[in-house]
């Protein structure tokens, strides 16, 4: 997986072989302090790799998601666009998860301080 944030690349490779046939592949992005973040890979629910990124983007894309191909330039220098996926995608789930309670409390405290 190549996470390209304005040409700042974080490459995370799976340490678990992807089986033939149906498989569930997951990528989890978590914000860290400042603009950093963590990327975790899973194959059929098994941890498969992780990495840290120095630039965590706060939006998916201004033109929408490219699923199964690149509709612009290639995300990675490892291939040429459009690099169409030739398998069958059954489902793609993008899920936003609420920040942890301590992050919310900290944000509330900052907001209250800014009002003083």
Cα gap 3→56, rounded to integer Å? 9
Judge whether 39 and 13 are in contact, CB under 8 Å. Answer: no
Residue from 79, 30, 75, 73 nearest 53 by CA: 30
What does each C-alpha distance from 80 to 7, 10, 73 come to in angstroms?
15, 18, 8
Would you state the pLDDT for residue 116? 55
pLDDT at 41 over 90: yes
Identify the residue with better confidence: 66 or 7. Answer: 7
Number of domains within the chain:
1
Residue 44 to residues 23, 62, 76: CA-CA distances in angstroms?
Answer: 6, 30, 24
- 102 vs 64, residue with greater confidence: 64
DSSP classification of residue 72: S
Q: Which residue has the higher pLDDT, 73 or 64?
A: 73
Domain, as residue range, for 87: 2-114
pLDDT confidence of 15, banded at 50, 70, 90?
very high
Query: Which has the higher per-residue pLDDT, 29 or 106?
Result: 29
Q: What is the residue-averaged pLDDT of the chain? A: 85
Query: What is the longest distance spanned by two Cα atoms in the chain?
Result: 59
């Amino acid at each position: 997986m190549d996470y390209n944030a304005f040409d700042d690349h974080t490459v995370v490779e799976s340490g678990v072989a992807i089986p033939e046939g149906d498989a569930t592949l997951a990528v989890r992005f978590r914000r860290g302090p400042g603009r950093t973040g963590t990327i975790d890979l899973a194959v059929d629910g098994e941890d498969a790799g992780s990495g840290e990124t120095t630039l965590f983007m706060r939006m998916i894309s201004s033109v929408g998601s490219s699923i199964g191909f690149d509709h612009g330039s290639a995300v990675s220098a490892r291939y040429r666009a459009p690099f169409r996926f030739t398998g069958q995608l059954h489902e793609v789930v993008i899920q936003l998860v609420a920040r942890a309670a301590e992050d919310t409390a900290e944000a509330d405290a900052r907001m209250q301080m800014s009002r003083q």
